[in-house]
Chain A
Amino acid sequence: MSDPNFETMTRKPQSPPSARLPRKLDPNVDAMIGAKLRGYYDGLMAEPVPDRILELLAKLDAKERLEPTRSETGE
């Protein structure tokens, strides 16, 4: 496993994607952080999308119906 030096931001040849988590952070702590982060994020994902965004999406969808694409009209 090649070791990225975490201090540098130089563009060395990219290490393989398998070189994963920091050695410096205890794996158990890292797992706790990961779980906490996902818990936080899942809470946000579960929030209802506010009306103004739903209205925008509905408008875009309606616009699409009025101005169908070429591929859909077969032109």
Chain B
Amino acid sequence: MSGPTREFTRQLIESAPSLRAFAISLTGNVERADDLVQETLMRAWANSTSFAVGTNLKAWLFTILRNAFTSQFRKRRREVEDADGDYAATLVSPAEQEDKAALDDMRDALGKLPAEQREAVLLVGASGFSYEEAAEICGCAIGTIKSRVNRGRAKLAELIYGPDWSGEVG
């Protein structure tokens, strides 16, 4: 069986920062995030033949990472009662940010979202995927993704600006 092409490996290298940003935002834990990124890259490399050339490599990589995270998350939830409990505590802040306090707000607020809303908000609002791509990555309907994004953003507004700012949240 043939291995990945140079081009494929080059694209893996290019994708590392965006995979990592997604993983850190999902887990709230840099160590765990880097483990996830490593696992994702190794899986992608080992399964490169199952990637259809010409399709969206970034979406494929995010799907691998998201699935790895979700299965770990489920496992952890069985082990620890509150899998989100360590989110904010261990998160490293982005280095040298001008408006660090504001970014900390966002980080903390993301950590308080239900995981499915968090991933939807991150995929659509930060990682640059369309609703359709995000739905494929999460394996759900577009309507479900929209609903999660809407509710997640409303919840972020409530957490960051207070209940008066967020409008009528369902």
A14 and B142 within 8 A (CB):
yes
A64 and B102 within 8 A (CB):
no
Cα–Cα, bound, A19→B43 (Å): 35
Do most interface residues of chain B lie in helix, strand or loop, or is the interface mixed? helix
B137 at the interface (CB under 8 A from A): no
Cβ-Cβ contact count across A and B, 8 Å cutoff:
163
B168 at the interface (CB under 8 A from A): yes
Q: Which residues of B contact A47 (CB under 8 A)?
A: 17, 20-21, 94-95
A29 and B165 within 8 A (CB):
yes
* Distance of A40 from chain B, by nearest CB (Å): 4
* Distance of B28 from chain A, by nearest CB (Å): 11
| Residues A40 and B20 in contact in the complex (CB < 8 Å), given A4-B147, A63-B3, A64-B6 | no
A24 and B169 within 8 A (CB):
yes
- The chain A residues found within 8 Å of chain B, CB to CB, are 4, 6-9, 11-12, 14-15, 17, 19, 21-22, 24-26, 29-30, 32-34, 36-41, 43-47, 49-50, 52-54, 56-57, 60-61, 63-64, 67-72
